[in-house]
Amino acid sequence: MPDTSLIAPTIAEIRAAAARIAPYAAVTPLLTSPALDAAAGGRVLLKAEVLQHTGSFKLRGALNRLLQLTPEERTRGVVAYSSGNHAQAVAYSATLLGMRSVIVMPKDAPALKIERTRAFGAEVVLYDRYTEDRVAIGGAIAAERGSTVVPPFEDPHVVAGQGTLALEAFAQAASLGAQPDTLLVCCGGGGLTAGCALAAEAVSPGTTVHPCEPAEFDDMARSLELGYRVPNEPGKRSICDAIVTDIPGEFTFAINQPRVGRGLRVTDDDVLRAIAFAVRELKLVVEPGGAAALAALLSGRVETAERTTLVVVTGGNIDPQLLARAVGGA
């Protein structure tokens, strides 16, 4: 049954989240690049969330959720399920705030992400993403230990935290005298897209938000086209592990459907080229899932000529071998 208790956060709640996480989260830079402008034929503003603590935007939502736990809830710890970036964010935030954390991660998640999640202080439980249900596993652990589950996107506090990214980016753009026509966001379950769409609706209504996904995992794009949530076909693969989900979140899709533009699809080859471009031209290390929006821009999936485009590179936690493959093959 749907959880009707979930209500989309207001812009006031997103602003409150920004104030709440400010002592702990980095203000990431909004970068410009002549090479990006030339590739787009317009003005490009790049939100470098790869420079966030833990290497991704996920820290924003995790912090906003954990900071609102009661003292009694904190004593019982938290449980999360994630392919890596939400895992690291929850582990880091829990340790920072003196809590225990258990993270359910797929066995085939990048080794770097599993290692760092453990290094941040979490107990890691591995599962097979193709045969096991991470939500069920996490729920069982939480029930046994009395812990709070921190979902990666189906939570209004998490969505509000992710929305702080767009709020911050729009303020930075305004300081440069820029008004983005388009915001390109990497999309998995839709939490970042939802937070950005809510922020854009309130503070930059002229900006169209486009979720960007792997072509083999385009559940958000197809769901937006059809008007209802549809899953991905089983058995597909993508290097974009951070944004590989089965189906858009019910809560996040309800937020996104009336607020965002069409979904943009990118291939793994598009993503590899974007990673190489980021290293060579921008001096940034970007993971595959974090490069989907940049890939959409560079591969011409959306009109950028004579427009201002805001692009988010959402994460930088990439295995060195894959980085070498991307740079070496470009």
Q: Which helix (H) or strand (E) is 35 found in, with range?
A: helix 34-40
CB contact set of 228 (below 8 Å; sequence gap of 6+) = none
Quote the tokens at residue 161: 């935290």
Domain ranges of the chain: 11-57+156-329, 59-149
Cβ(287)–Cβ(318) under 8 Å?
yes
Label residue 3 by pLDDT band (50, 70, 90): low
CATH ID of 11-57+156-329, from 3.10.450.100, 3.40.50.1100, 3.50.40.10, 3.10.25.10: 3.40.50.1100
Mean pLDDT of the chain: 95
Give the mean pLDDT of 130-154. Answer: 95
CA distance 19 to 276: 35
CA distance 190 to 209: 12
Sequence letter at residue 232: N
The predicted structure's pLDDT at residue 112 = 84
At 91-132, the pLDDT tens digits run: 999 999 999 999 999 898 888 889 999 999 999 999 998 899
> Is there a common fold for 11-57+156-329 and 59-149?
yes
Q: Which of 205, 199, 177 is nearest to 312 (CA)?
A: 199
At 15-46, the pLDDT tens digits run: 999 999 999 999 999 999 999 999 999 999 99
Structural class in CATH, domain 59-149: alpha beta
Backbone angles phi, psi at 31, to 5 degrees: -100, 155
Give the mean pLDDT of 238-250. Answer: 94
